[in-house]
Structure 1
């Protein structure tokens, strides 16, 4: 087996969405692919558009609900002379059948309307590909949902694993949500030899859990993007969902009573060292006078839309209670 790897960008780069492994990715009868979501995407010559992806292309990694992250393809591995096992319907030989979780027989083929327990297996020759993009990866944390991605897509298919996107509009949409993609030339080219086998999984899953990927944070990301309301666009890893009123007191989450804040700003806000008035202007406690980085935030207007659904009465209450302690 000979491995070929390309790290030379193509003139006229394109944009793609990559559907990652899970219930949403239809494998057309094969056993799936080993994706490391934040680093690489695996596919083969049976996948539509496999021959068009190239170094320098923009990719948005998605599941069936939302965008998970974006990056530029930095290197493309080509592994010829591979084989894979593919399963077919026992009756019509279609690969489009699906598994059933609560009914027997286990599989259902919509093409011929038959159910069965054991599909027919075949071994087929393929060329395998791995697109590597970890050096420029930026989490999107769902700030673009399925409907927004559909608008950016140049394909009408909902099942296509690799779908072509409008590159210009996709970059605009990502930027509007506070995401700052490094230019490929700003990142060291990952041109070293890559392993023949990569384990599947998600390298940053633990970090995602620590960030609190709950419904409240997801709702705020959907509303404001990956933007700290005080300091502006920031990496997803340092953005947190802040309550304008302590959750321990209210026992509920309301988008109108929340803001996305950078972790250090969030700590100052919760500690009573930073407040926001009803005009959505930032105030900083006098005790921070020795910290120029934070003193400079005094008088800064919040970086949210003028019609953002924020409860100004709650903001005013928090401001009054906070500044009373200064």
Structure 2
């Protein structure tokens, strides 16, 4: 796209939630947008608030259930006079219809109740936009659910794909879940050539998709945020769901028997080189005391809230079993 701007010097701004392409975004007769969840968000001048999004704004990307990630707008592309096909109900002319996946005819118009297989198409001129936030993107993976997002929103409407958020409260909520955004001065994208075409809806790695499909890990993320219980806030890419009782033995995923741990800490726990005391403090095997990064963890309290649902008897069991080998 043309008209690319950078966010250099933009340290303040508004906050928005962006609804990504999904069943929830089938309105106004759109054929869809080329959303790339971890990189950019596409919209046009038929979308509410399209003029208000600006460089340096905070954005929370969401689907219909939860927040997927957060970042700052580092570049904003604008293309005027672009043709777009918009579909309407053949009876009342409304764009407020949805596709039905299990019934025929294929479409049903919400305003007039008409059902039909072929909408009436029209070509309109729009201004196209693409907001880039990939350089500051931090996964949230459900830390904030639909109700929590609604509480942070400045709009009560469920129909807007771009909704105004309370910036201060949103930043505080994200930080409370251990998510650390880079300084805004480092997210400008003017020095990077932005691609003219981006593959819609793809993630950076298949590993990110696998993480998101892990129900046990998702439950722990929602409970504790992006915080390693031993070392503190950490990138989502290195956080793993750890069982204090081996899953191979119990074959059960229990939140009260799990912790979110950095990948290396998880390996040490599973290898019997690190455990948690009855007082919820870190204990490190004597064989690791020559490694400064790990010996420094000895005696440190866990980074979990006082009311965490951790099963203390399971913690004591793991401690006794592990330290017996030291």
Please identify runs of 4+ aligned residues in structure 1 that moved more than 4 A: 8-12
- State the secondary structure of the residue aligned to 2:42: strand
Deviations 1:30-80 (A, max 9, x none): 110001111110000000000000000000001111111100000100001
* Alignment map for 1:256-267 (pairs within 5 Å): 256-267=256-267
Q: Which residue in the other structure is 2:6 paired with?
A: 7
Give the TM-score, by structure 2 length.
Answer: 0.96
Matches of 1:260 and 1:74, distance apart in 2:
31
Structure 1 residue aligned with 2:159? 159
Partners in 2 of 1:223 and 1:16 — Cα distance?
Answer: 24
How far is the alpha carbon of 1:171 from its aligned partner? Answer: 0.2
Report the 3-state secondary structure (helix = DSSP H, G, I; strand = E; otherwise coil) of the residue aligned with 2:24: coil
Q: Is structure 2 residue 241 aligned with structure 1 residue 241?
A: yes
Cα contact 2:40–2:134 (8 A) shared by 1: yes
1:95-125 deviation digits (Å, cap 9, x = unpaired): 0101111111111111001111111111110
Match of 2:45 in 1: 45
Cα gap change, 1:210 to 1:292, in 2 (>3 Å): farther
Q: 1:33 — aligned with what?
A: 33
Aligned match of 1:128: 128
Moved more, 299-308 or 204-213: 204-213
Residue 44 of structure 1 contacts residue 129 of structure 1 at CA under 8 Å; is this kept in 2? yes
Q: CA RMSD in A?
A: 1.5
Aligned-partner SS, 1:24: helix
Kindly indicate whether the alpha-carbon contact (under 8 Å) linking 1:26 and 1:159 is maintained by their aligned counterparts in 2.
no
1:266-309 deviation line (CA, Å, top 9, x unaligned): 00000000000121111000111221110111100101011100
Q: What is the CA distance between 1:156 and its match in structure 2? A: 0.7
1:209 matched to which residue of 2?
Answer: 209
CA contact (8 A) 2:240 2:260 kept: yes
Could you list the runs of 5+ residues in structure 1 that have no partner in the other structure? Answer: none
Measured against aligned partners, the alpha-carbon deviations of 1:109-168 in whole angstroms (never above 9, x if no partner) come to 110011111111111100000001111111111111111100000011112100000000
Could you tell me which runs of 5 or more consecutive residues in structure 2 were left unpaired when the two chains were aligned. Answer: none
Looking at structure 1, the residues matched to 29 and 191 of structure 2 have their Cα atoms a distance apart, in angstroms, of 33
Output the CA distance in 1 between the equivalents of 2:136 and 2:261: 23
Q: Secondary structure at the match of 2:23?
A: coil
Deviation digits for residues 237-293 of structure 1 (CA, Å, limit 9, x no counterpart): 000010110111111111100000000000000000000012111100011122111
Q: Secondary structure at the match of 1:41?
A: strand
